[in-house]
Protein backbone atom coordinates (compact mmCIF):
# COMPACT_ATOMS: atom_id res chain seq x y z
CA UNK A 1 0.00 0.00 0.00
CA UNK A 2 1.07 3.52 -0.54
CA UNK A 3 -0.46 6.93 -0.48
CA UNK A 4 2.52 9.04 -1.14
CA UNK A 5 2.96 8.37 -4.82
CA UNK A 6 5.12 11.35 -5.57
CA UNK A 7 8.48 9.66 -5.10
CA UNK A 8 7.65 6.75 -7.38
CA UNK A 9 8.91 6.38 -10.89
CA UNK A 10 6.34 6.70 -13.65
CA UNK A 11 6.72 3.84 -16.14
CA UNK A 12 3.74 4.58 -18.39
CA UNK A 13 2.40 8.05 -18.96
CA UNK A 14 -0.73 8.64 -21.03
CA UNK A 15 -1.89 12.12 -21.89
CA UNK A 16 -4.92 13.25 -23.89
CA UNK A 17 -5.31 9.83 -25.48
CA UNK A 18 -8.08 9.55 -28.06
CA UNK A 19 -8.95 6.49 -30.08
CA UNK A 20 -11.74 7.07 -32.59
CA UNK A 21 -12.92 4.44 -35.07
CA UNK A 22 -14.26 6.02 -38.25
CA UNK A 23 -17.77 5.21 -39.46
CA UNK A 24 -18.28 5.19 -43.21
CA UNK A 25 -21.69 5.52 -44.79
CA UNK A 26 -23.68 6.41 -47.89
CA UNK A 27 -23.10 5.21 -51.42
CA UNK A 28 -19.78 7.02 -51.58
CA UNK A 29 -18.63 5.42 -48.31
CA UNK A 30 -17.83 8.80 -46.90
CA UNK A 31 -16.55 9.35 -43.38
CA UNK A 32 -19.81 10.19 -41.60
CA UNK A 33 -18.74 10.00 -37.96
CA UNK A 34 -16.60 8.32 -35.35
CA UNK A 35 -16.99 5.81 -32.58
CA UNK A 36 -15.28 7.70 -29.79
CA UNK A 37 -14.12 4.57 -27.98
CA UNK A 38 -11.50 6.43 -25.94
CA UNK A 39 -12.02 10.15 -25.72
CA UNK A 40 -9.29 12.15 -24.06
CA UNK A 41 -7.94 10.11 -21.16
CA UNK A 42 -4.82 10.86 -19.13
CA UNK A 43 -3.15 8.80 -16.44
CA UNK A 44 0.22 7.63 -15.18
CA UNK A 45 1.20 4.14 -14.09
CA UNK A 46 3.97 3.89 -11.53
CA UNK A 47 6.67 1.29 -11.84
CA UNK A 48 5.67 -1.93 -10.08
CA UNK A 49 2.06 -0.95 -9.48
CA UNK A 50 -1.21 -2.33 -10.77
CA UNK A 51 -3.60 0.20 -12.19
CA UNK A 52 -7.08 -1.30 -12.43
CA UNK A 53 -9.49 -0.13 -15.13
CA UNK A 54 -13.18 -0.75 -14.50
CA UNK A 55 -16.42 0.20 -16.21
CA UNK A 56 -19.41 -1.29 -17.98
CA UNK A 57 -19.17 -3.21 -21.23
CA UNK A 58 -18.36 -0.97 -24.17
CA UNK A 59 -16.95 1.93 -22.14
CA UNK A 60 -13.57 1.63 -23.89
CA UNK A 61 -11.42 -0.39 -21.49
CA UNK A 62 -9.98 -2.78 -24.07
CA UNK A 63 -9.51 -0.07 -26.65
CA UNK A 64 -7.63 1.98 -24.07
CA UNK A 65 -5.35 -0.96 -23.18
CA UNK A 66 -4.68 -1.76 -26.82
CA UNK A 67 -4.08 1.88 -27.71
CA UNK A 68 -1.55 2.22 -24.89
CA UNK A 69 0.35 -0.72 -26.40
CA UNK A 70 0.09 0.95 -29.81
CA UNK A 71 -1.88 -1.89 -31.34
CA UNK A 72 -3.69 0.98 -33.07
CA UNK A 73 -2.63 4.20 -34.71
CA UNK A 74 -3.75 6.77 -32.17
CA UNK A 75 -6.27 9.46 -33.05
CA UNK A 76 -4.59 11.86 -30.62
CA UNK A 77 -2.53 12.00 -27.48
CA UNK A 78 0.80 10.91 -26.11
CA UNK A 79 1.87 7.57 -24.69
CA UNK A 80 5.26 7.34 -23.00
CA UNK A 81 6.56 3.91 -21.99
CA UNK A 82 9.74 3.71 -19.97
CA UNK A 83 10.86 7.13 -21.12
CA UNK A 84 10.13 6.60 -24.81
CA UNK A 85 7.36 8.38 -26.68
CA UNK A 86 5.66 5.63 -28.67
CA UNK A 87 2.59 7.60 -29.77
CA UNK A 88 3.62 8.10 -33.37
CA UNK A 89 6.31 5.46 -33.76
CA UNK A 90 6.39 3.52 -37.02
CA UNK A 91 6.10 -0.26 -37.15
CA UNK A 92 9.86 -0.82 -37.34
CA UNK A 93 10.63 1.15 -34.19
CA UNK A 94 7.61 -0.32 -32.43
CA UNK A 95 8.84 -3.82 -33.15
CA UNK A 96 12.04 -3.03 -31.28
CA UNK A 97 10.18 -1.78 -28.23
CA UNK A 98 7.49 -4.52 -28.22
CA UNK A 99 9.43 -6.78 -25.82
CA UNK A 100 9.05 -4.16 -23.08
CA UNK A 101 5.25 -4.18 -23.26
CA UNK A 102 3.03 -7.20 -23.60
CA UNK A 103 -0.59 -8.23 -23.33
CA UNK A 104 -2.46 -11.05 -21.63
CA UNK A 105 -5.85 -11.66 -23.21
CA UNK A 106 -9.22 -12.72 -21.89
CA UNK A 107 -9.48 -15.73 -24.13
CA UNK A 108 -6.13 -17.52 -24.30
CA UNK A 109 -7.68 -20.09 -26.63
CA UNK A 110 -8.04 -17.51 -29.38
CA UNK A 111 -4.39 -16.54 -29.40
CA UNK A 112 -2.81 -19.99 -29.05
CA UNK A 113 -2.10 -21.63 -32.38
CA UNK A 114 -3.69 -25.11 -32.11
CA UNK A 115 -1.02 -26.63 -34.36
CA UNK A 116 1.91 -25.47 -32.27
CA UNK A 117 3.27 -27.30 -29.26
CA UNK A 118 3.39 -25.52 -25.96
CA UNK A 119 7.17 -25.11 -26.22
CA UNK A 120 6.82 -23.54 -29.66
CA UNK A 121 4.07 -21.18 -28.52
CA UNK A 122 6.04 -19.94 -25.54
CA UNK A 123 9.29 -19.85 -27.51
CA UNK A 124 7.92 -18.05 -30.56
CA UNK A 125 8.66 -14.53 -29.26
CA UNK A 126 12.23 -15.71 -28.57
CA UNK A 127 12.61 -16.78 -32.20
CA UNK A 128 11.31 -13.44 -33.40
CA UNK A 129 13.14 -11.11 -31.06
CA UNK A 130 16.30 -12.85 -29.83
CA UNK A 131 19.25 -14.76 -31.24
CA UNK A 132 19.15 -17.54 -28.69
CA UNK A 133 20.28 -20.95 -29.89
CA UNK A 134 17.80 -23.80 -29.94
CA UNK A 135 19.18 -25.19 -26.69
CA UNK A 136 19.14 -21.78 -25.01
CA UNK A 137 15.56 -21.29 -26.16
CA UNK A 138 14.52 -24.63 -24.71
CA UNK A 139 16.08 -23.73 -21.36
CA UNK A 140 14.34 -20.37 -21.37
CA UNK A 141 11.01 -22.05 -22.19
CA UNK A 142 11.51 -24.45 -19.27
CA UNK A 143 12.26 -21.53 -16.95
CA UNK A 144 9.11 -19.77 -18.10
CA UNK A 145 7.06 -22.93 -17.60
CA UNK A 146 8.44 -23.22 -14.08
CA UNK A 147 7.62 -19.58 -13.40
CA UNK A 148 3.95 -19.97 -14.34
CA UNK A 149 3.51 -23.39 -12.77
CA UNK A 150 3.35 -25.59 -15.87
CA UNK A 151 4.96 -29.01 -15.66
CA UNK A 152 7.96 -29.28 -17.99
CA UNK A 153 6.67 -32.63 -19.21
CA UNK A 154 3.91 -30.75 -21.03
CA UNK A 155 6.34 -28.95 -23.36
CA UNK A 156 5.51 -31.07 -26.39
CA UNK A 157 1.76 -31.11 -25.93
CA UNK A 158 -0.79 -29.02 -27.78
CA UNK A 159 -3.13 -26.31 -26.46
CA UNK A 160 -6.31 -28.40 -26.72
CA UNK A 161 -4.91 -30.82 -24.15
CA UNK A 162 -5.05 -28.14 -21.46
CA UNK A 163 -7.74 -26.66 -19.26
CA UNK A 164 -8.71 -23.00 -19.44
CA UNK A 165 -6.58 -22.09 -16.44
CA UNK A 166 -3.55 -23.88 -17.86
CA UNK A 167 -4.05 -22.21 -21.22
CA UNK A 168 -4.05 -18.84 -19.49
CA UNK A 169 -0.74 -19.87 -17.87
CA UNK A 170 0.62 -20.58 -21.36
CA UNK A 171 -0.51 -17.11 -22.46
CA UNK A 172 1.18 -15.57 -19.44
CA UNK A 173 4.42 -17.51 -20.03
CA UNK A 174 4.45 -16.29 -23.62
CA UNK A 175 3.88 -12.71 -22.51
CA UNK A 176 6.80 -13.04 -20.08
CA UNK A 177 9.21 -14.57 -22.60
CA UNK A 178 10.97 -11.33 -23.49
CA UNK A 179 11.27 -9.94 -19.95
CA UNK A 180 8.64 -7.22 -20.30
CA UNK A 181 8.30 -4.38 -17.82
CA UNK A 182 4.69 -3.56 -18.55
CA UNK A 183 1.78 -5.93 -19.15
CA UNK A 184 -1.79 -5.06 -20.08
CA UNK A 185 -4.05 -7.75 -18.65
CA UNK A 186 -7.40 -7.52 -20.45
CA UNK A 187 -9.97 -9.44 -18.41
CA UNK A 188 -7.42 -12.25 -17.89
CA UNK A 189 -9.73 -14.33 -15.73
CA UNK A 190 -13.18 -13.47 -17.06
CA UNK A 191 -13.35 -16.60 -19.22
CA UNK A 192 -12.19 -18.95 -16.45
CA UNK A 193 -14.10 -21.02 -13.92
CA UNK A 194 -14.61 -19.15 -10.67
CA UNK A 195 -12.69 -21.91 -8.87
CA UNK A 196 -9.50 -21.21 -10.82
CA UNK A 197 -9.79 -17.43 -11.16
CA UNK A 198 -8.06 -16.90 -7.81
CA UNK A 199 -5.15 -19.16 -8.82
CA UNK A 200 -4.47 -17.13 -11.94
CA UNK A 201 -4.78 -13.85 -10.06
CA UNK A 202 -2.37 -15.11 -7.41
CA UNK A 203 0.04 -16.18 -10.13
CA UNK A 204 -0.09 -12.71 -11.71
CA UNK A 205 0.59 -11.17 -8.30
CA UNK A 206 3.51 -13.52 -7.60
CA UNK A 207 5.04 -12.81 -11.02
CA UNK A 208 4.64 -9.09 -10.44
CA UNK A 209 6.67 -9.33 -7.25
CA UNK A 210 9.25 -11.65 -8.70
CA UNK A 211 9.90 -9.70 -11.90
CA UNK A 212 8.94 -6.18 -10.80
CA UNK A 213 6.15 -6.02 -13.38
CA UNK A 214 3.79 -3.11 -13.89
CA UNK A 215 0.19 -3.97 -14.79
CA UNK A 216 -2.73 -2.27 -16.41
CA UNK A 217 -5.45 -4.62 -15.22
CA UNK A 218 -8.76 -4.37 -17.07
CA UNK A 219 -11.83 -5.94 -15.53
CA UNK A 220 -15.52 -5.39 -15.00
CA UNK A 221 -15.24 -7.35 -11.74
CA UNK A 222 -14.99 -4.67 -9.08
CA UNK A 223 -14.20 -7.09 -6.25
CA UNK A 224 -11.33 -8.59 -8.22
CA UNK A 225 -9.93 -5.15 -9.00
CA UNK A 226 -10.23 -4.19 -5.35
CA UNK A 227 -8.09 -7.21 -4.56
CA UNK A 228 -5.36 -6.74 -7.15
CA UNK A 229 -5.10 -3.03 -7.98
CA UNK A 230 -3.11 -0.34 -6.16
CA UNK A 231 -5.07 2.39 -7.88
CA UNK A 232 -8.25 2.23 -9.92
CA UNK A 233 -9.48 4.18 -12.94
CA UNK A 234 -13.22 4.19 -13.58
CA UNK A 235 -14.27 4.60 -17.21
CA UNK A 236 -17.61 5.71 -18.57
CA UNK A 237 -18.31 6.21 -22.26
CA UNK A 238 -14.70 6.63 -23.38
CA UNK A 239 -13.57 8.80 -20.49
CA UNK A 240 -11.98 8.26 -17.11
CA UNK A 241 -14.42 9.80 -14.64
CA UNK A 242 -12.45 8.98 -11.50
CA UNK A 243 -8.98 7.72 -10.61
CA UNK A 244 -7.96 7.03 -7.04
CA UNK A 245 -5.96 4.78 -4.74
CA UNK A 246 -7.93 1.60 -4.19
CA UNK A 247 -8.88 2.09 -0.55
CA UNK A 248 -10.07 5.65 -1.05
CA UNK A 249 -12.12 4.76 -4.09
CA UNK A 250 -13.99 1.90 -2.47
CA UNK A 251 -14.42 3.66 0.89
CA UNK A 252 -15.39 7.05 -0.44
CA UNK A 253 -16.26 7.07 -4.15
CA UNK A 254 -16.60 10.66 -5.33
CA UNK A 255 -18.02 10.55 -8.83
CA UNK A 256 -21.77 9.77 -8.99
CA UNK A 257 -21.02 7.09 -11.57
CA UNK A 258 -18.46 5.38 -9.32
CA UNK A 259 -20.99 5.54 -6.49
CA UNK A 260 -23.62 3.87 -8.64
CA UNK A 261 -21.19 1.24 -9.89
CA UNK A 262 -20.04 0.36 -6.36
CA UNK A 263 -23.53 0.34 -4.90
CA UNK A 264 -24.40 -2.42 -7.36
CA UNK A 265 -21.65 -4.71 -6.00
CA UNK A 266 -22.96 -7.34 -3.58
CA UNK A 267 -21.76 -6.48 -0.10
CA UNK A 268 -20.11 -9.42 1.69
CA UNK A 269 -21.29 -8.20 5.09
CA UNK A 270 -25.08 -7.80 5.04
CA UNK A 271 -25.08 -5.95 8.39
CA UNK A 272 -23.07 -2.99 7.17
CA UNK A 273 -24.73 -2.96 3.79
CA UNK A 274 -26.72 0.21 3.66
CA UNK A 275 -29.42 -0.42 1.08
CA UNK A 276 -30.66 3.16 1.41
CA UNK A 277 -27.53 4.30 -0.40
CA UNK A 278 -28.09 2.06 -3.34
CA UNK A 279 -28.15 3.95 -6.62
CA UNK A 280 -29.79 2.33 -9.57
CA UNK A 281 -28.94 4.04 -12.81
CA UNK A 282 -31.77 4.73 -15.20
CA UNK A 283 -31.54 4.58 -18.95
CA UNK A 284 -28.91 3.19 -21.28
CA UNK A 285 -25.35 4.21 -21.93
CA UNK A 286 -25.45 6.66 -24.88
CA UNK A 287 -23.73 5.64 -28.10
CA UNK A 288 -20.02 6.43 -28.22
CA UNK A 289 -20.59 7.73 -31.75
CA UNK A 290 -23.01 10.33 -30.42
CA UNK A 291 -22.10 11.22 -26.83
CA UNK A 292 -24.19 13.90 -25.08
CA UNK A 293 -23.18 17.55 -24.95
CA UNK A 294 -21.48 18.47 -21.69
CA UNK A 295 -20.64 15.69 -19.30
CA UNK A 296 -20.90 12.23 -20.83
CA UNK A 297 -22.76 11.02 -17.73
CA UNK A 298 -25.32 13.86 -17.63
CA UNK A 299 -28.11 11.79 -19.20
CA UNK A 300 -28.04 9.28 -16.34
CA UNK A 301 -26.55 11.15 -13.41
CA UNK A 302 -28.75 11.27 -10.29
CA UNK A 303 -27.11 14.58 -9.31
CA UNK A 304 -27.13 16.31 -12.68
CA UNK A 305 -26.98 20.13 -12.68
CA UNK A 306 -27.57 22.69 -15.41
CA UNK A 307 -23.88 23.14 -16.14
CA UNK A 308 -23.45 19.40 -16.71
CA UNK A 309 -25.53 19.57 -19.88
CA UNK A 310 -23.42 22.40 -21.26
CA UNK A 311 -19.83 21.88 -20.25
CA UNK A 312 -17.60 18.82 -20.18
CA UNK A 313 -16.10 18.70 -16.67
CA UNK A 314 -12.34 18.80 -16.44
CA UNK A 315 -10.53 15.73 -15.09
CA UNK A 316 -8.72 17.24 -12.13
CA UNK A 317 -7.00 16.38 -8.90
CA UNK A 318 -9.50 17.22 -6.14
CA UNK A 319 -7.43 15.75 -3.30
CA UNK A 320 -3.84 14.54 -3.39
CA UNK A 321 -3.83 11.51 -5.66
CA UNK A 322 -7.59 11.64 -6.31
CA UNK A 323 -8.78 12.67 -9.75
CA UNK A 324 -12.41 13.29 -10.64
CA UNK A 325 -14.18 14.69 -13.70
CA UNK A 326 -17.36 16.13 -12.22
CA UNK A 327 -18.81 19.62 -11.81
CA UNK A 328 -19.79 18.79 -8.22
CA UNK A 329 -16.12 19.11 -7.36
CA UNK A 330 -15.55 22.39 -9.08
CA UNK A 331 -16.49 24.89 -6.39
CA UNK A 332 -16.15 28.03 -8.43
CA UNK A 333 -18.74 26.62 -10.85
CA UNK A 334 -21.25 25.24 -8.35
CA UNK A 335 -21.06 28.35 -6.15
CA UNK A 336 -22.20 30.59 -8.99
N1 LIG B 1 -12.13 -1.95 -34.13
C2 LIG B 1 -13.24 -1.27 -33.80
N3 LIG B 1 -13.97 -0.63 -34.75
C4 LIG B 1 -15.08 0.07 -34.42
N5 LIG B 1 -15.55 0.20 -33.17
C6 LIG B 1 -14.87 -0.41 -32.19
C7 LIG B 1 -13.69 -1.18 -32.45
N8 LIG B 1 -13.24 -1.69 -31.27
C9 LIG B 1 -14.09 -1.25 -30.32
N10 LIG B 1 -15.08 -0.49 -30.87
C11 LIG B 1 -16.17 0.18 -30.15
O12 LIG B 1 -15.57 0.99 -29.15
C13 LIG B 1 -16.34 0.98 -27.96
C14 LIG B 1 -15.47 0.52 -26.81
O15 LIG B 1 -15.17 -0.87 -26.97
P16 LIG B 1 -14.20 -1.67 -26.01
O17 LIG B 1 -14.08 -3.04 -26.56
O18 LIG B 1 -12.96 -0.90 -25.82
O19 LIG B 1 -15.04 -1.68 -24.66
P20 LIG B 1 -14.79 -2.51 -23.31
O21 LIG B 1 -14.92 -1.52 -22.19
O22 LIG B 1 -13.52 -3.28 -23.41
O23 LIG B 1 -16.04 -3.49 -23.27
P24 LIG B 1 -16.14 -5.00 -22.71
O25 LIG B 1 -16.28 -4.87 -21.21
O26 LIG B 1 -17.39 -5.53 -23.34
O27 LIG B 1 -14.92 -5.75 -23.12
C28 LIG B 1 -17.53 0.08 -28.24
O29 LIG B 1 -18.60 0.90 -28.63
C30 LIG B 1 -17.06 -0.78 -29.38
O31 LIG B 1 -18.14 -1.20 -30.17
MG1 LIG C 1 -13.07 -5.32 -23.37
CATH number for the domain spanning 274: value is: 3.40.50.300
Nearest bound ligand to the CA of residue 291:
1
Is 4 part of any domain?
Answer: no
Is 71 part of any domain?
Answer: yes
Regarding the beta carbon of 288 and ligand 1, being less than 6 Å apart is answered yes
How distant, in Å, are the alpha carbons of 79, 122, 177 from that of 98? 14, 16, 12
Is 5 part of any domain?
Answer: no
Kindly report the pTM of this predicted structure.
Answer: 0.93
Is 91 part of any domain?
Answer: yes
Q: For residue 190, what is the DSSP state?
A: T
Regarding the beta carbon of 190 and ligand 1, being less than 6 Å apart is answered no
- In this structure, the dihedral spanned by the alpha carbons of residues 300, 302, 308 and 309, taken in order and rounded to 10 degrees, is 50
In angstroms, what is the span from residue 233 Cα to ligand 1's centroid? 17
Is 37 part of any domain?
Answer: yes
Is 210 part of any domain?
Answer: yes
Domain that holds residue 197: 10-334
Nearest bound ligand to the CA of residue 71:
1
Is 200 part of any domain?
Answer: yes
β-sheet bridge partners, residue 220: none
Question: Domain total for the chain?
Answer: 1
**DSSP characters over 2-64:** -S--TTSPEEEEEEEEEEEEEEEETTTTEEEEEEEEEEEEEEEEETT-EEEEE-STTSSHHHH
First to last CA, the chain: 39
- Tell me the pLDDT of the chain (336 aa) as tens digits: 344 556 789 999 999 999 999 999 988 899 999 999 999 999 999 999 999 999 999 999 999 999 999 999 999 999 999 999 999 999 999 999 999 999 999 887 777 899 999 999 999 999 999 999 999 999 999 999 999 999 999 999 999 999 999 999 999 999 999 999 999 999 999 989 888 999 999 999 999 999 999 999 999 899 999 999 999 999 999 999 999 999 999 999 999 999 999 998 766 555 555 555 677 788 889 999 999 999 999 999 999 999 999 999 999 999 999 999 999 998 665 444
In angstroms, what is the span from residue 226 Cα to ligand 2's centroid? 18
Is 3 part of any domain?
Answer: no
Ligand 1 atom with the shortest distance to the CA of 287: 29
Regarding the beta carbon of 38 and ligand 1, being less than 6 Å apart is answered no
Amino acid sequence: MFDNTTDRRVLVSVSGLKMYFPIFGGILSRHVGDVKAVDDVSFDIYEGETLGVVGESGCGKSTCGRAVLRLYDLTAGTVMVDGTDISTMGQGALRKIRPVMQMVFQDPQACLNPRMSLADIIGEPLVEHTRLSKAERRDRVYDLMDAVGLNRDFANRYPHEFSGGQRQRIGIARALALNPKFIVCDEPIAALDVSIQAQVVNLLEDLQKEFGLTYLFISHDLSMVRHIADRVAVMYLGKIVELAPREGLYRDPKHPYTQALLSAVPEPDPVTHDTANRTVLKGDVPSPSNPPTGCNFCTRCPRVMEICRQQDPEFREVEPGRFVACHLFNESETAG
